[in-house]
Amino acid sequence: MRISQRSIEDVREAANIVEVTSEFTALRRQGARFSGLCPYPDHQEKTPSFSVSPDRGFYYCFGCLEANERIWTSRGLIPIGAAELGDEVIGLDGRRETITDKWFKSGPTVRITTGAAKEGIELTPDHTCLYVSQEEALRSIPGVHLRSAGEKAMRFSRKLRRENPSVHITVGPASDVREGDFWLYPVIPDEERSDSPLPGERLIKPYTKGPRTARITDLPVNPRTAWLYGVWLAEGSLYRGGVKWSFGAHEEDSLVERVIQVLDEEFGRVATKFSRRERNLCEVACSSTDLSALFGHWFGSGCEYKRIPFEALNWPRECQDALIDGYIDGDGYFSNGITSAASVSEELTYGIFALCIQARQVCSSTSLAARMGNDGVYRRKCYYVHILSKESLKGFFANIDGVDYFHSIVQRAGEARDESTTVVDITTTGSHTFTTKMGVTHNCQRGGDAIKLLMDLKSLDFAEAVTYLAERSGVELEFEGGGDADAAKKRAGRRRATYRTLAAAAIYYHKYLLKSASPEAQQAREYLEGRRLELSTIEEFR
Is residue 199 classed as helix, strand or coil in its secondary structure?
strand
pLDDT at 46: 61
- pLDDT tens, residue by residue, 424-476: 988 888 888 999 999 999 765 567 889 989 998 888 889 889 988 998 888 88
Residue 214's alpha-carbon distances to 211, 268, 442, 499, in angstroms, are 10, 9, 47, 78
Rounded to whole angstroms, how far apart are CA atoms 100 and 87?
8
Each residue's pLDDT tens digit, 209-253: 777 788 999 999 999 999 999 999 999 999 999 999 999 999 999
Q: What is the pLDDT of residues 469-495, one digit of tens each?
A: 998 888 888 888 766 666 666 766 676
Q: Could you tell me the CA-to-CA distances from 7 to 54, 170, 473 in Å, in that order?
A: 20, 40, 12
Give bridge partners of residue 531 from the DSSP assignment.
Answer: none
CB contact at 8 A, 343 and 374 = no
How much is the pLDDT for 206? 86
Q: Where are the domains of the chain?
A: 20-59+448-540, 192-359
Q: What CATH architecture is 192-359? A: Roll (3.10)
Dump pLDDT digits (tens) for 40-55.
775 655 656 677 888 8
Domain boundaries 20-59+448-540, corresponding CATH code: 3.90.580.10
Average pLDDT, rounded, for the chain: 89
Question: In angstroms, rounded to a whole number, what is the distance separating the alpha carbons of residues 388 and 386?
Answer: 6
The pLDDT score that the predictor gives to residue 422 is 92
In degrees, rounded to 5, the angle at the alpha carbon of residue 512 between the alpha carbons of residues 507 and 516 is 160
Average pLDDT over residues 360-364: 98
CA distances from 177 to 112, 336, 427 (A): 8, 32, 22
Closest CA to 405 of 97, 92, 45, 119: 92
Q: What digits encode the pLDDT tens for the residues 492-517?
A: 667 667 767 877 788 888 888 888 88
Residues 6+ apart with CB under 8 A from 374: none
CB of 57 within 8 A of CB of 13?
A: yes
Three-state SS sequence of 239-260 = ECCEEEEEEEHHHHHHHHHHHH
Tens digits of residue pLDDT in 395-417: 999 999 999 999 999 999 987 77
Is the entire prediction scored with pTM above 0.75?
yes
If pLDDT is split at 50, 70 and 90, which confidence band does 197 have?
A: very high
